[in-house]
Amino acid sequence: MAFGIGGCHEAHYASGDEEFRDAHMHGEYKMPGGKLVVVDLEVRDGRLADVQVSGDFFLEPDSALDAINRALDGQPGDADEAALTAALQRALAGDVMMYGLSAQAIAIAVRRAVDEEGTAP
């Protein structure tokens, strides 16, 4: 519902947030014809931890966001896109509706967070 918003965000973090930045990884992906998916996470002992998915997508019911985060927490840090997509699909009940979002888009954002960006800017 935004003004001027929807994709292509540049992520910034408030100055002075050093502790937050340390081990933090951040990835973004805008699926074609969809909305922006953002993933913030850490990798601890080789596994995804403190996973937080966010973005300007639409999701019903809204409690499904917690299910998405929980499905990703504890996944191997080297789980590939297909494995992450499958884990998400298993975790989401049949009545979950996504608009501008897909399990695969979330998986891609996770891989970008871990592979490409490393620590947040």
Partner 1 sequence: MMRSEWRDHDWQLIHTLPQSPSLHMALDDALVHEVGAGRRPPTLRIWEWAASAVVIGRFQSLRNEVDMQAAQRHRIEVVRRISGGGAMFIEPGNTITYSIYAPLSLIKGLSFQQAYAHMDEWVIEALATLGIKAWYQPLNDITSEGGKIAGAAQAHRGGAVLHHVTMAYDIDAAKMLDVLRIGREKLSDKGTTSAAKRVDPLRSQTGLPREAVIERMIATFRRRHGLTNDILRADELTRADALARERFSSPAWLADVP
Q: Does 116 bind partner 1 (CB under 8 A)?
A: no
Q: Does 118 bind partner 1 (CB under 8 A)?
A: no
Q: Taking CA 65 as the corner, what is the angle to CA 61 and CA 66, rounded to the nearest 5 degrees? A: 110
Q: Does 102 bind partner 1 (CB under 8 A)?
A: no
Phi, psi angles (nearest 5°) of residue 77: -60, -20
Dihedral angle sign, alpha carbons of residues 40, 42, 43, 47: negative
Q: Does 60 bind partner 1 (CB under 8 A)?
A: yes
Q: Does 90 bind partner 1 (CB under 8 A)?
A: no
Q: In the complex with partner 1, which residue's Cβ is closer, 52 or 89? A: 52
Beta strands in the chain (DSSP E): 25-30, 36-44, 47-55, 58-60, 97-99
In the set 48, 57, 111, 112, which binds partner 1 (CB under 8 A)? 57
For 15-32, give the DSSP string. Answer: TT-HHHHHT-EEEEEE-T
- The least CB distance from residue 76 to partner 1, in Å, is 24
Q: Does 99 bind partner 1 (CB under 8 A)?
A: yes
Tell me which residues touch partner 1 (CB under 8 A): 1-14, 17, 33-35, 38, 40, 52-60, 62, 65, 97, 99-100
